[in-house]
Amino acid sequence: MVPLQSVCLLFVALGALAVVVTQDVVRQAILFSIYGFSLVVLFVIFQAPDVALSALVVGGIAYPLVLVSAIARVAAQRKRK
Amino acid sequence: MSTRIRFVIFALGALGLGALLVHGVVDLPSFGNYPGPYGDLIAKLAPKERHMVNTVTAVVFDYRGFDTMGEELLLFGAASAVALLLRERREEDVHGVDDRVTSPAVRGVGALAAVMLLVIGLNVVSHGFITPGGGFQGGVILASAFAVVFLTVEYRAYREIATTSFGEPVEAFGAGAYVGLGLVALGFGLSFLQNFMELGIPGRLSSGGSAIFVNFSSALAVFGGFLVIFSEYIEENMRERHQ
C-alpha cells in the first residue's frame, strides 16, 4: 500500500506544480480538473471515500464550470473593446 | 520597487514560511499513525448508539450536526453573495442566443448522462448512512446533472428546467428545514439537532432516525445553492453572448 500511496502523493505534487506554473488560464483550468482527479484517487487510496466523492464533484464539475464561465466572460469583454 | 528590494522581501518571507513549515512538520505523528482516540471511539460507538453504518455521515449529520449547519449556512451565504453581485440587470429574453452544441451524438449522450447523474445523486443522498456519501456529495451531484444539460444539450433546455427562481426556494427550504429540525429537537426537550426518532435497523435505508431528514434537507440546500451559483454564472455568460 505504501508504494501506491507514494506514487499518488507524487502525482498530486506534480499536478499542483503544473497548475501553478501554467500561464494560460484555459489550460490552467483543464489542468486543475486533472489535478482534482488525482486528488480524488489520493483520497480513495488513503481510504477516505466520503471525501473522495466531495472532491470528485466539486473539483471535477462545480469549480471548473465556474472558472471556465468566468474566463469566457472576460474573454468576451476583451473582444468587445 | 527595485528587483533587489523585492528579492530581499521575498527571501525574508520565504525564510519565515520555511521555518514555520519545518516547525510544523517536525511534530507531526509518523506516517499512517493515528494517535487520537476519537475516531476509533466513533467507529465503535456509532453503529450501536446511532444505528448508522457509515460513521463519517454519522459524525456529519448527527454527532456534529451543529457544525454542519454552519457549513450549510456558509454555502447559503456564498450563493447569495454570487447572486447579489452578478444579478444587476437580467435579460429575460433568450431568443437569438446561439447554441453552440449541434451534434446529435453529444446531445444524446449528454441527456443520458444528466438522467444518470440524477439517479446517482439520489442514490448517494439516500444511502448516506450506509455507504460513502450523503447530503453534501449527493446535492452537488444533483446540481451537476443540470450543469451537464447546459453543457451538452442547450441553454434553452437548461433555462426551462433550472431558472434561478427554481434554485432559490429549494436552497432556502433546505437550509430552513435543517435549522427547523434542530428546533424540533429543542421542542422535544432535547439538545439542538439531537436525534428524536426511532433509529431503525443498522444497514437498512430507513436507519438513522431524524438524522435522515437532516441529511435530506442538507441535500436540498446544497443542490439549490449550487444551482443558484451555476445559473448566475451561466446567465452572465449568456447575456454577454446575447449582446
Which ipTM score applies to this complex?
Answer: 0.82
Question: Nine-digit cell at A64?
Answer: 471548473
The per-residue pLDDT for B92 is 55
* Residue B238 near chain A (CB below 8 Å): no
Instruction: Flag if B137 and A50 touch (Cβ within 8 Å).
Output: yes
Are B153 and B111 in contact by the 8 Å Cβ rule? The answer is: yes
Inside any domain, residue B34? no
| Residue to test with chain A: of B140, B227, B234, most A Cβ within 10 A | B140
Put simply, whether B147 touches A (Cβ < 8 Å) is yes
Cβ atoms B18, B168 nearer than 8 A: no
The residue segments making up the domain with residue A29 are 2-80
Chunk chain B into consecutive blocks of 10 residues (it has 243) and report each block's average pLDDT, rounded to whole numbers: 90 96 90 84 89 90 92 92 78 57 82 93 92 90 88 74 78 93 92 87 85 93 91 77 58
Q: Which domain holds residue B65?
A: 43-88+104-242
- In this prediction, residue B6 carries a pLDDT of 93
What HEC string does A13-79 produce? HHHHHHHHHCCCHHHHHHHHHHHHHHHHHHHHHCCCHHHHHHHHHHHHHHHHHHHHHHHHHHHHHHH
Q: How do residues A18-76 score in pLDDT, each as one tens digit?
A: 999 999 988 998 899 899 999 999 999 998 999 999 898 888 888 888 888 888 888 87
B53 touches chain A (CB under 8 A): no
- Residue B211 falls within a domain, yes or no? yes
Compute the distance between CA of residue B75 and CA of residue B135 in angstroms, rounded to an integer.
Answer: 13
Residue at B134 is within a domain: yes
**Using one digit for the tens of pLDDT, what is the confidence trace for A2-26?**
889 999 999 999 999 999 999 998 8
Q: What pLDDT, on a 0 to 100 scale, did the predictor assign at position B114?
A: 92
Number of structural domains chain B divides into: 1
Q: Count of domains in chain A?
A: 1
Of B124, B151, B240, the CB nearest to A53: B124
| Measured distance CA(B213)–CA(B193) in Å, rounded | 11
The pLDDT value recorded for residue B116 is: 95
Chain A residues 21-50 within an 8 A CB cutoff of chain B: 49-50
Whether residue A58 lies within 8 A of chain B, CB to CB, comes out as yes
A72 close contact with B: CB closer than 8 A: yes
How close, in Å, is residue B199 to chain A by CA atoms?
22
CA A41 centroid distance within chain:
12
Residue A48: closest C-alpha in chain B: B132
